[in-house]
């Protein structure tokens, strides 16, 4: 999917940086998101990945990121990779209650020019 703004966006319609109770739940399949602006996955609530493959190529410039979660981000299975700028250290990590282990890698500069 090519998106000029947020690729997937869950919200209850209120513009907030707090958890509004909305959610994105991924239970299998394959998702590839390429965003030119906006967040690849953006939930004003929670994101849960239980299975499947999710690849997010986030925007190249701040203030957006590969994925943005105001609530809890859990990975219980599957494969998840996201890229994008580290806007003000906004890169989030999965909750400690996630079943699957994860790794966060941050590069100090872009790998491609």
Q: What is the pLDDT of residues 51-96, one digit of tens each?
A: 999 999 877 777 788 888 999 999 999 999 988 776 666 778 899 9
User: Are the C-beta atoms of residues 56 and 7 closer than 8 Å to each other?
Assistant: yes
Q: Is residue 36 part of a domain?
A: no
Q: Which two tokens stand for residue 14?
A: 């209120």
For residue 98, give its domain range.
49-106
Q: Return the closest-CA partner of residue 9 out of 53, 41, 55.
A: 41
Q: Is residue 76 part of a domain?
A: yes
β-strand partners of 81: 55
Report strand pairing: 8-10 vs 73-75. Answer: unpaired
Q: How many domains does the chain have?
A: 1
User: Angle at Cα 105 formed by Cα 68 and Cα 37, nearest 5°?
Assistant: 35
pTM of the model: 0.85
């Amino acid at each position: 999917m090519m998106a000029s703004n947020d690729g997937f966006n869950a919200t209850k319609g209120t513009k907030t940086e707090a958890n509004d109770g909305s959610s994105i739940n991924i239970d299998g399949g394959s998702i590839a998101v390429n965003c030119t602006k906006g967040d690849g996955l953006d939930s004003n609530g929670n994101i849960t990945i239980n299975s499947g493959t999710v690849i997010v190529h986030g925007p190249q410039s701040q203030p957006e990121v590969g994925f943005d979660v105001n609530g809890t981000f859990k990975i219980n299975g599957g494969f998840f990779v996201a890229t994008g700028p580290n806007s003000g250290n906004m890169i989030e990590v999965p909750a400690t209650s996630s079943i699957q282990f994860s790794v966060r890698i941050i590069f100090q500069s872009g790998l491609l020019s």
